[in-house]
Structure 1
Amino acid sequence: MGIIPLFFFPTSLFFFGWLVLCALLWAFDATMAPSPRQLSIERSIDTPIPVGNPAHSRIVLRTPVPMRLDLRDAWPPSTHPSPYSHSLVAQPEMESRVTTTLHLERRGSIRADYVTVRSWGPLRMAARQTSIVAPLNLNVLPPFRAKRLLPSRLARLHELEGTTATVLRGPGTEFDSLREYVRGDDPRDIDWRASARSSDLVVRTWRPERDRHVMIVVDAGRSGAMLLGEPQEADLGDKDLVELGVAPRLDAQIEAALLLGVLADRAGDQVHMLVVDREIHEDLAQQRAGALIREAAKAFSRVQPSLLPLDWQLVINAVDKRLRHPGLVVLLTETPPAA
């Protein structure tokens, strides 16, 4: 505003006088601006949230006096908070609410930064600003991209159990009983020793195994920290390929552990999961029906790969201690070509 009269009064006295006037206005406006420390702030967010889903960070403000505010709900840059800041007019005895949307790209625990508040004076020439500590943690779950493979695997599981009508019989893998041979039985099921003691051919019948013990051990050590490359062009048409992009190998192991864990849980098996490097980071025992995927995702959200090699003796001792019955142990780790 001072540039226009400066053309008509181009003197140093007018120039410095105008600066003094502006400084006085700034000082008056800053003095009249309410202190942002009077604000009462409540911060909340829905947690946990899967990777790829938007999260909404909410702030509720209460003030004893009217305030014209600029507010920034600060989060780490990797969460891509939007919008960057909020402008609002807060009235006494009324709650003011603002929402910041976060776009999540990586799993893990994310800690919120400060809430920065700027309170403007009546002339909007000067403001008073402060950063307020409002602790808040957001747990980001693994994306579980392999979920799209689940329907086909479950259908195959039902075929093996004989609960789905198919052209081929789902025989299962556990011996059930003996019966006489009828036309159409698989000759490979004939029990020749039992048939030798009988006047007719005898075949073995099978049923699906139940209540098996499945232990999944995830290597969170040095091999899990190595980055996976982009898929090769020849693999792009594979319908069973789960695209992870450039990510640590641990992310692929988590996808495999979740998929196998859900299938085993749906089959009625007892599932146990371990995450190990030089120590045991997560020890997930059998969960009640339907809770395995949720609890496993929470556990894996806290795991980050380390640069320490896997302690194989610790793995052996941990499995031996927890698996007291015959069972299947799946180790998710790197298999070097020379191994």
Structure 2
Amino acid sequence: MVTRRFAALLAVGVPVPALLPWPWLGLLGVLIFAVACAAADFAVAGPLTRLKLRRDGDRTVWLGATATVTLTLVNTAKRPVRLQVRDSWVPSAGAWPQRHDLWLGRGSTRQVTTTLNPVRHGDRPAVRVTLRSYGPLGLAYRQRRRSWNDSVTPPWTLRVLPRFPSRRILPEKLARMRVIDGSVVARGRGHGTEFDVLREYVIGDDVRSIDWRASARHNDVVVRTWRPERDRRLVCVLDTGRTSAVRIGDTPRLDAAIDAALLLAVLAARADDRVDLLALDDTIRTRVEGGSHRTKVNRLIDAMASLEPAPAETDYTLLARDLLRRDRKRSLVVIFTALEPAPMIEGLLPLLPSLAARHRVLVAGVRDPALSELSRIPWAATASDVHTAAAAQRALLERDRVHEVLARFGATVVDADARSFASRVADVYLLLKATGRL
């Protein structure tokens, strides 16, 4: 194949025969000369079949961070190769640069690095490495078929983990967890239900915790310490139906739910509780069960990375069947969904009494702050502004009504904006943990 340099050569040479007595013969001579140069350049271009490719680099990265993947090329031929390498990835991988120009001598090895800035979580695979060998004049190049390029492309998939912005408040929640667990003595520490150890009284302890018999034996004031129950079960249910695709500000509702579920899973793992994951819409997308407390968090993060909203209504009967038929131990079931009347009334509400009778249910939904802004009537309001505010106020009233109905059926409800959503969900878990109601 010829290059743009070949076309430039023709553009320069074609006007020259007009100055000769026989312009057509001159034009034919120019064409023959250009084609001969391109053919010689093509013949001299290094072979592609003796190139070996392999990849190294990052396998996982958090969304918002940068990953690097290195492509190593080895020339096993007896001739040098002037290469143009195009390393193609899916568009959402944010690969840059995609084209590399390099010179490979006989038996030499070169590496090219591609920087990836993914814009979506999930698996971001490498598509194809296209190799093009140029001649020394740059007039022609060798390039094999797409199927051949596919066969020599080393497979590579970058797993992009979802955003975890609530990681910044994790130390605060862990400090509260240590207070609840009794590792840190603090005024107002919540009591668990399992006896832990006896220790000396310090200022700030509840006098009702004093063990008078043990104090008499030790000739000192001794108090009983209690710790929250361990090895409790927490089930995070992620709604991946159509309502999870709604954007709350700049964040999809599903991403906000994943962030809150990650914070909850880390806290529960530190508290030695068992954490399971169930993601569903019209079918069960992901289920993570079993495993140790520490290693399961990595499995949960890996499973959440591949979740995407589905254009389907969520079938909560799948959740009821999974929890009521298979599980008999009481658990804390946290359902991350949209607190909207239609999906609640038709989907979750009919099943909520049976779920609440067997498990403790927490329903968590992200509130859109733009709805509260629209509900306010501006000073110089037009008729359109009044109608918009009335519609927003009606939507908020319906949301509050859903909140009341869920609470009446025995569920705890968390309704907060995206900034405080994960923190509010974690606070409810810590409160239940401190009061022994898990």
TM-score over 0.5 for the alignment? yes
By relative contact order (CA 8 Å, sep 6+), the higher-ranking structure is 1
Report the 3-state secondary structure (helix = DSSP H, G, I; strand = E; otherwise coil) of the residue aligned with 1:98: strand
Instruction: Say if 2:84 and 2:131, in contact at 8 Å, map to a contact too.
Output: yes
Report the 3-state secondary structure (helix = DSSP H, G, I; strand = E; otherwise coil) of the residue aligned with 2:86: strand
Moved more, 252-261 or 32-41: 32-41
Give the C-alpha shift of residue 3 in structure 1: 4.2
Q: Distance in 2 between matches of 1:185 and 1:88?
A: 72
Instruction: Say if 2:239 and 2:281, in contact at 8 Å, map to a contact too.
Output: yes
Structure holding more helix per residue: 2
Say whether residues 1:147 and 2:151 are aligned partners: no
Q: Distance in 2 between matches of 1:150 and 1:35?
A: 56
Give the C-alpha shift of residue 150 in structure 1: 0.5
Q: Name stretches of at least 5 consecutive residues in structure 1 with no aligned partner.
A: 178-182, 190-202, 231-244
Report the 3-state secondary structure (helix = DSSP H, G, I; strand = E; otherwise coil) of the residue aligned with 2:82: strand
Say whether residues 1:174 and 2:174 are aligned partners: no
- Show the 5 A alignment for 1:5-84: 10-11=19-20, 12-13=23-24, 14-63=26-75, 64=77, 65-84=79-98
**Aligned equivalent of 1:234:** none
Report the 3-state secondary structure (helix = DSSP H, G, I; strand = E; otherwise coil) of the residue aligned with 1:70: strand
Give the CA RMSD over aligned residues: 3.0
Say whether residues 1:255 and 2:263 are aligned partners: no
Q: Distance in 2 between matches of 1:36 and 1:185?
A: 77
Give the C-alpha shift of residue 176 in structure 1: 4.8
- Show the 5 A alignment for 1:81-96: 81-96=95-110
* Counterpart amino acid of residue 174 in structure 1: T
Moved more, 292-301 or 8-17: 8-17
Q: Distance in 2 between matches of 1:173 and 1:119?
A: 71
Instruction: Say if 2:236 and 2:277, in contact at 8 Å, map to a contact too.
Output: yes
Residue identity over aligned pairs, in percent, reads 34
Change (3 A) 1:69 1:162: same
Give TM-score scaled by structure 2 length: 0.63
Give TM-score scaled by structure 1 length: 0.80
Q: Name stretches of at least 5 consecutive residues in structure 2 with no aligned partner.
A: 1-8, 197-202, 210-222, 341-398, 403-438
Which of 201, 204, 207 is the aligned partner of 2:227? 207
Q: Deviations over 1:88-113 (max 9, x none)?
A: 11123232222211111211112211
Give the C-alpha shift of residue 115 in structure 1: 0.6
Give the C-alpha shift of residue 8 in structure 1: 10
Q: Distance in 2 between matches of 1:120 and 1:70?
A: 8
Moved more, 65-74 or 20-29: 20-29
**Aligned equivalent of 1:126:** 140
**Aligned equivalent of 1:194:** none
* Counterpart amino acid of residue 152 in structure 1: E
**Aligned equivalent of 2:125:** 111
Change (3 A) 1:279 1:21: same
Which of 240, 244, 254 is the aligned partner of 1:224? 244
Aligned pairs, how many?
307
* Counterpart amino acid of residue 79 in structure 1: A
Q: Deviations over 1:188-222 (max 9, x none)?
A: 99xxxxxxxxxxxxx99753222221111111112
